Each structure stands twice: as C-alpha cells, then as structure tokens.
Amino acid sequence: MPKLRTHRASAKRFRMTKTGKIVRPHAQKSHLLG
C-alpha cells in the first residue's frame, strides 16, 4: 500500500492507530480502498 497522507477531511472520518493502521467506518471501506 502507498503511504497515505493525512488530509483534514479524511482526519475527521479516520484516525490512525499507534501501529499505523487506519480506523475507518466499515460502510466506506471498500469505496476508499479502491
């Protein structure tokens, strides 16, 4: 996976865990991962 930059719009929806994983709503998971 390419490194993801933190955009303010994305930061409102997601948050990074300490391990670097992105916690996101499941409803949008498939759409955003593309």
Please state whether the predicted TM-score (pTM) of the whole model is above 0.85.
no
Structure confidence at residue 7 (pLDDT): 62
- pLDDT per residue over 1-34, tens digit each? 566 666 666 666 666 677 767 766 565 555 555 5
5-24 core/surface letters (b: 16 or more CB in 10 A; e: else): eeeeeeeeebeeeeeeebee
